[in-house]
Amino acid sequence: MKLPRLSSFFKGMNLTVFTFVMIFLYIPILILIIFSFNDARIITSWKGFTFKYYAQLWENAAIKEAFWNTMLIAILSTVISTLLGLITALGLENKRLKGRRGFMGLLYAPLVIPDILMGVSLALLFNFLRVNTGMVTVLIAHITFCVSYAVIVIQSRLEDFDYSLIEAAMDLGAKPRTTFFKVKLPLIMPGVIAAALLSFTLSIDDFIITFFTSGRGFDTLPIYVEGTIRRGTITTINSLSTLMIGFTLFLVVFTKRIRKSLISFF
């Protein structure tokens, strides 16, 4: 059936706003990419094409360290929060579980409370416990904000699960354990992968919570970048940013699953 047609006024307005938003969203990114090849100390005006800041990037030990710190935290927090998320989602699958509403509330709360509050509260917790901040505290913080997302993404996949498949597997002779590993797990795997990708991206993107929970000498890339911008020595940031944008583009464009999970998340 044909949809009712919008008048040209409405249509034109929507198209105009869409185009405007697209320009709005992409101009800064394009400028950043272009200027990463700019041969000038002051980044704001164009002085000629160069690769030299990419080379500097390669030689900068602090950036390399921050990069590896980011990766380490991202991988560890992704693995841990995805596993935690998976088993929790399996437990909360039971809609008749007593106290389920409360548990769901606890899971959703971190999503609706500003990040800065989680950062402050964790900073004070670690102070209260007299724990030295550093890698471990950052990892704990990242797991804390990733695990809710992981549970919810996996849960939405479980909700679509067709339970007659479990019966079919058992009917064909599979014991509960085999049924889980051969039928249920493979079928919810896209959800698990989506949860992992989401956790990974949230982790490498986070600034504020890391800012409150990392000590001196443990910088992740966002922390390093922010510090550099504040100190004003920003020549390498353009090239670093361009590489990071490239990484994002790669993730989003080439992994259909991130897109799907993100769209279905809302």
Partner 1 sequence: MRDKREIKPVNSFNQKIDYILAAPALLWLTIFFLVPYFIVLIYGFLTPDIFDIKFEFSLDAYRLIVDGTYFRPFYVSFRMALLTTVLCILLGYPVAYFIARAKEKLRNTLLVFIIIPFWTNLIIRIFSWRIFLSYNGVLNDFLISLGLISQPLEIMRTDWAVILVMVYVYLPYMILPLYSVLEKLDFTLLHAAMDLGANEVKAFFKITLPLSMGGIFAGVLLVFIPALGAYLIPQLVGDQRSLYVGQVITYKIKNIPRNWPMASALSFTLLILVAVCLLAGYYLYQNRQKTKRFG
Partner 2 sequence: MEEIRIQNISKDFDGFLAVDGVDLTIRSGELFSFLGPSGCGKTTLLRMIAGFETPQRGNIFIGDEDITDLPPYKRPVNTIFQNYSLFPHMTVWDNVAFGLKIRKVPLPEIQSRVSEMLQLVKMEDQSAKYPAQMSGGQKQRVAIARALINKPKVLLLDEPLAALDLKLRQHMLIELMNIHDAVGITFIYVTHDQGEAMSISDRVAVMDKGKVVQAGPPDDIYERPASIFSAYFIGETNLITGQVIGIEDEYIQLRCNMGDGEFFEIDSTFHFRPEVGQQLTVSLRPEKIAISRNKPRIQDDINVLKGSIEDILYLGSHTQYIVTVGKLKFRVFSQHKRVYFDDTALDWDEEVWLFWHDTDSWLIDEMPDEAAYASESMVHPPRFGKREQSRNIAEEQ
In this structure, are residues 36 and 242 in contact, taking their beta carbons and an 8 Å threshold? yes
Cβ closer to partner 1: 49 or 128?
Answer: 128
Q: Tell me which DSSP letter residue 94 carries.
A: -
The site partner of 165 among partner 1, partner 2, none (C-beta below 5 to 8 Å per kind) is partner 2
Q: Which residues, 57 to 116, sit near partner 1 by CB under 8 A?
A: 84-85, 87-88, 90-94, 96-98, 103, 106-107, 109-110, 112-116
147 binds partner 1 (CB under 8 A): yes
Sorted by sequence, the CB contacts under 8 Å of residue 127 that are 6+ apart come out as none
Smallest distance from the beta carbon of 170 to partner 2, in angstroms? Answer: 4
Could you say which residues in the range 1-40 bind partner 1, by CB under 8 A? 1, 3-4, 6-7, 10, 13-15, 17-18, 20-22, 24-29, 31-32, 35
**Interaction between residue 209 and partner 1 (CB under 8 A):** no
Please report, to the nearest 10 degrees, the dihedral formed by the alpha carbons of residues 244, 250, 252, 254 taken in order. Answer: -170
The DSSP secondary-structure symbol of 183 reads I
Is residue 191 a contact point for partner 1 (CB under 8 A)?
A: no
Closest by CA to 106, choosing from 141, 78, 148, is: 148
Binders in 236-265 for partner 1, by CB under 8 A: 237-238, 241, 244-245, 248-249, 251-253, 258-259, 262-265
CB of 186 to partner 2, least distance (A): 5
Residue 100, CB half-sphere, CA atoms under 13 Å: how many? Answer: 11
Q: What is the nearest approach in angstroms of partner 1 to the Cβ of residue 51?
A: 19
List interacting residues with partner 2 (CB under 8 A): 162, 164-165, 167-175, 178, 182-183, 186-187
- SS3 call for 49: strand
Residues 53, 118: contact at Cβ < 8 Å?
Answer: no
Residue whose CB is less far from partner 2, 179 or 238: 179
For residues 4 and 21, the answer to whether their CB atoms sit within 8 Å is no
Calpha distance 193→54 (Å, rounded):
32
DSSP annotation of 60 reads: -
- Give the chain's length: 266
Residue 259 near which of partner 2, partner 1, none (CB within 5-8 Å, type-dependent): partner 1
Give 71 or 84: the residue with its C-beta nearer to partner 1: 84
